[in-house]
Amino acid sequence: MARSAGSGQRLQLKLLGSFTLLSEAEQVRLPPSSQRVVALLALRERPLSRVQVASTLWPDFPAERSLADLRTALWRARRAHALIVTAAGKCLCLASAIEVDVRELMSLGRPTALPPHGSAAAATKMSWAELSLDLLPDWDDDWLIDDRERVRHLRLHALEALTDQLSSCGRHAEAIQAALAALRLEPLRETAHAALIRAHLAQGNRSEAHRQYTRCREILAAELTVEPSESLQALLSVPHTRSRPVTRVGAGS
């Protein structure tokens, strides 16, 4: 039986990691076909026609078959909870009462949404651990390919922004973890290396900052045959030349 669609009911949809739909902290279980309808509507952020949804989710089926499968998926979703998908004529959209983690991430990815570095307010309710999760990693649907890449870039921006903000709030250990998560996503991303270097400097660990710069320089040299940018070198006032081997005290004497 479908749950009632109370106006004050809080619904949360998590797409980073495994698909999870919560109603007042209680999980709403949906069959895979219904999950895919909900996920598609959440990621597109706009009303979609029934034909668009059906052809995207069941591209190999004839139109009549795919629309029939869509009707079944919608019926099962409404049976699980009355307030998930809303319909307006031939278009479908996610119910406005649902909070979506990826949509929060998208807002965080916009520079105007970020508070000043000195602000004590959190830029997002999402932790660095949540931002480390991939978009529906267990799904192999072709329609998710572009969404995964888009969300990956947003996660990178969010992790870097979160690193700086956590550092400004004195939460240095979390800041470093956020920067490391960004580097796991993209080891060649210079701005992620810069975020980690800034986090080490904010904590007062200049030696760690220098070590991270060296790691970045070695990775860029090995993979791209380039030197770190001048802006990255400026963080530590590193000369724009390759470092020479350091002669140890007493060597050769």
pLDDT of residue 140: 96
12-63 pLDDT, tens digit each: 999 999 999 999 889 999 999 999 999 999 999 889 999 999 999 999 999 9
Q: How many CA atoms lie within 13 A of 170 on its CB side?
A: 1
Q: Domains in the chain, please, with CATH?
A: 11-99 (1.10.10.10), 126-236 (1.25.40.10)
pLDDT at position 20: 97
Please, are residues 132 and 181 in contact by the beta-carbon 8 Å criterion? Answer: yes
pLDDT of residue 82: 84
Q: What is the mean pLDDT of residues 70-77?
A: 96
Q: Residue 150 has which token pair?
A: 């888009």
CB 187, CB 224: distance < 8 Å = no
User: What one-character-per-residue DSSP string does 31-91 give?
Assistant: -HHHHHHHHHHHHH-S-EEHHHHHHHHSTTS-HHHHHHHHHHHHHHHHHH-SSSEEEETTE
How many angstroms separate the CA atoms of 115 and 123, rounded?
Answer: 6
Give per-residue pLDDT as tens, 171-227: 999 999 999 999 999 999 999 999 999 999 999 999 999 999 999 999 999 999 999
Query: Residue 8: its pLDDT value, please?
Result: 56
- Band (pLDDT 50/70/90 cuts) for residue 253 is very low
Burial code of 71-97, b = ≥16 C-beta within 10 A, e = fewer? eebbebbbebbbbbbeeeeeebbbbeb
For the purposes of burial, counting CB atoms within 10 Å of the CB of 12, is it exposed (0-12), middle (13-18) or buried (19 or more)? Answer: middle
pLDDT at 221: 96
Query: Residues 164, 198: contact at Cβ < 8 Å?
Result: yes
For 201, other C-beta atoms within 10 Å of its C-beta total 17
| Residue recorded with tokens 């990621």 | 43
Number of other CB atoms surrounding residue 171 within 10 Å: 16
So what's the pLDDT on residue 111? Answer: 54
**pLDDT tens, position by position, 109-153:** 555 444 554 343 345 678 999 999 999 999 999 999 999 999 999
Instruction: Report d(CA 181, CA 178) in Å as an integer.
Output: 5
* Residue 90 pLDDT > 90: no
Q: Are 87 and 104 spatial neighbours (Cβ–Cβ below 8 Å)? A: no
